[in-house]
Amino acid sequence: MPQKIRLISEFSFPAVLFHAALVSAEYWQARVAELDGPHAELSLHREADGVLVATVSKPVAPDQIPPRLARVWPSGLRLDYAEHWSPLVAGAARAEIRGSIAGVGTMAGSCELRDGVDGCVSEYSVTVDSGIPMAGRLIAGAFAKGIIEDSGAVDAFTERWLRREHA
């Protein structure tokens, strides 16, 4: 059964600075190194229209596996996801987000970045799904929980990154 996640975060930096981080190779390298661990892999490329595509592959944390499924869950699973960031236009940008854990679950959605009253607002909306019979709800729930936790860590990292870069 699909699970929808919607998260809204406010930041003290304007969208132009926030977006500059999200389309920076240095930001992504630091973010993946700090948040995703030594076994994560990052690929970056910029398309002709200026869109940055960041692709990350990282091991699934053991605590993100539902306990009842841990015995049958294949070891070595990786979460693969990509963010396609558009250029910033009139104080707003959008990312298309896609991800999967091979054969176990998928996610698809977007992130809207826009200027706010005292900084910027990031609105993240994604649907998580698992087509595995009988266990799909547990798997999608665990996947969604991990995404929510990761989102908080990414928000905190980005705020720290921006403070360091613009202190």
pLDDT at 68 over 70: no
User: Mean pLDDT across the stretch 83-90?
Assistant: 94
DSSP string, 89-123: BTTEEEEEEEEEETTTEEEEEEEEEEE-SSSEEEE
User: Mean pLDDT across the stretch 64-81?
Assistant: 72
CATH number of the domain encompassing residue 51: 3.30.530.20
Among the listed residues 144, 124, 125, the one whose alpha carbon sits nearest the alpha carbon of residue 11? 124
Question: Which parts of 27-103 are beta strand (E)?
Answer: 41-46, 52-59, 78-85, 92-101
* Helix/strand/coil for 85: strand
- Please tell me the predicted confidence (pLDDT) of residue 75: 65
Residue 152 parent element (H or E): helix 136-165
The lowest-confidence range among 4-8, 10-14, 39-43, 77-81 is 77-81
DSSP conformational letter for 148: H
Indicate the pTM of the whole model.
0.88
| Number of structural domains the chain divides into | 1
- Please tell me the predicted confidence (pLDDT) of residue 51: 77
Would you place residue 104 in the very low, low, confident or very high pLDDT band (cuts 50, 70, 90)? confident
- Please tell me the predicted confidence (pLDDT) of residue 131: 79
* Helix/strand/coil for 66: coil
Mean pLDDT, all residues of the chain: 88
**Domain residue limits at 53:** 3-165
- Please tell me the predicted confidence (pLDDT) of residue 137: 80
- Please tell me the predicted confidence (pLDDT) of residue 70: 64
- Please tell me the predicted confidence (pLDDT) of residue 138: 78
125 has which bridge partners?
6, 110
- Please tell me the predicted confidence (pLDDT) of residue 163: 93
- Please tell me the predicted confidence (pLDDT) of residue 39: 92
Would you place residue 74 in the very low, low, confident or very high pLDDT band (cuts 50, 70, 90)? low
